[in-house]
Amino acid sequence: MIPYGRQSISEADIAAVVDVLRSDFLTQGPAIPKFEQAMCAKVGAQYGVAVNSATSGLHIACLALGLGPDDLLWTVPNTFVASANCARYCGADVDFVDIDPVTQNISVTALAEKLRTAERLPKIVVPVHFSGQPCDMKEIAILARQYGFKIIEDASHAVGATYFGEPVGSCQYSDIAIFSFHPVKIITSGEGGLALTNDAALAEAMVMLRSHGITRDATRYEQPDRGPWYYEQQMLGYNYRMIDIEAALGLSQLGRLDAFIARRNQLAARYDDLLSGLDIQKPKVLPNRLSSFHLYVVRLTVRDADRHRRVFEKLRADGVGVNVHYTPVHLQPDFQRLGFAPGDFPEAERHGATAISLPMYADLSDEAQLTVVNSLINALGE
Ligand SMILES: *Cc1c(COP(=O)(O)O)cnc(C)c1O
């Protein structure tokens, strides 16, 4: 089976992990700050807080921004459930904004209209850079100032992407950006995530929240320092720490990021070419954006549930590990129980009912890509 995504692990990546295994620290050693600093330097952000997953990163980002039980967070339905669950972990309510049919990112028109007519305004909006294409961050940032909400970029797909020449993660148009290093994403640390920000107070809060809400910085103690063993829990935090083994892998992978992005873009251009003339909607990258192409998603032009399933199953039967990104989050049973229903977000629903993610990863060979293309052409012709 050709998978839809998978990691690329080099001998140097393996050696980096083995070095940690032979060192004094498996966790909380020197690799974590090295990885954080290297990632900050790469994207041009001031602070990076490594965590054990992007899901954890989204959670502590919401907490650092003060999201609580009387608050509201908005995101898109066309995403992984974690983009919405972060609000629920904080006891806050979640609502969705429909997507743009071309980019499948948050629709700025829909966002502006929802803000204009809202009875309750969101405290946080989470734009998701779907498939690695940056959202319209300039426009979203203008709305944030106008309506007073904070922005957390779910940049899980977009490590290595750029927006008007600036790397995603620089937080030029957001408060916090979150990366994921799950093996199907652009670079991997096994499991892992990183929260980026240019705000010292947010970074400090997230450093405490990832480790039990504890500080060992004597200058910050609320009570008298009782001795060299002393530490203080100053808020309720979690064990969301990344470990050194993961950070060493992430750091080694970061050195390969540019090559990964180049190869993914090369594969995308080749898909565009090989799939031309077919009755499908292909990804469209807008001007002034470099997509990291975490995903290459095509859409059937006619919404027909039976045909969608037949094409999908034909590809799988040929050994092509296609997937669907995403079944809209609001249609998950656990979200329908909150009151969401089919029809609430038509563009996201149309997308989920027509989308097929083709295999896309740095080590996908030209030959394997041709197999995918031929299988898709056959499936569409039947
Ligand atoms: C993968 C993903 C996440 C969660 O990442 P983890 O590191 O697995 O927790 C969140 N949001 C989006 C959009 C993702 O694709």
Q: Are residues 365 and 268 in the same domain?
A: yes
Cβ of residue 355 lying under 6 Å from some atom of ligand 1: no
Do residues 128 and 79 lie in contact, with contact meaning Cβ atoms separated by under 8 Å?
Answer: yes
Minimum-distance ligand 1 atom for the alpha carbon of 130: 13
Domain edge (last residue) among 203, 232, 254: 254
Domain of residue 342: give its range.
257-381
Q: Ligand 1 centre and the CA of 1: distance in Å?
A: 23
pLDDT for the residue 98 = 98
Provide the domain count of the chain: 2
Q: Are residues 129 and 190 in the same domain?
A: yes
pLDDT for the residue 87 = 98
Q: What is the pTM of this model?
A: 0.98
pLDDT confidence band for 381 (50 / 70 / 90): very high
Cβ of residue 296 lying under 6 Å from some atom of ligand 1: no
Do residues 291 and 161 lie in contact, with contact meaning Cβ atoms separated by under 8 Å?
Answer: yes
H or E stretch at 43: helix 31-43
User: What tokens were used for 292?
Assistant: 């990291």
Minimum-distance ligand 1 atom for the alpha carbon of 56: 9
Identify the residue whose C-alpha is closest to ligand 1 atom 2. 156
Q: Are residues 224 and 296 in the same domain?
A: no
Residues 303-330: tens digit of each pLDDT = 999 999 999 999 999 999 999 999 999 9
**Which of 182, 238, 323 to probe ligand 1 with, by most ligand atoms within 8 A of CB?**
182
| Averaged pLDDT, 67-75 | 98
Mutual orientation of helices 54-64 and 82-89 as an angle, nearest 10°?
40
Q: Are residues 163 and 243 in the same domain?
A: yes
Considering 42, 185, 282, 314, which one is annotated as catalytic?
Answer: 185
Q: Are residues 287 and 144 in the same domain?
A: no
Domain edge (last residue) among 224, 239, 254: 254
Annotation says 282 is catalytic: no
Residues 109-147: tens digit of each pLDDT = 999 999 999 999 999 999 999 999 999 999 999 999 999
Cβ of residue 79 lying under 6 Å from some atom of ligand 1: yes
Residues 1-41: tens digit of each pLDDT = 999 999 999 999 999 999 999 999 998 899 999 999 999 99
Give the separation between CA 283 and CA 161, rounded to whole angstroms. Answer: 15
Cβ of residue 134 lying under 6 Å from some atom of ligand 1: no
Q: Are residues 217 and 271 in the same domain?
A: no
CATH classification at residue 79: 3.40.640.10
Cβ of residue 180 lying under 6 Å from some atom of ligand 1: yes
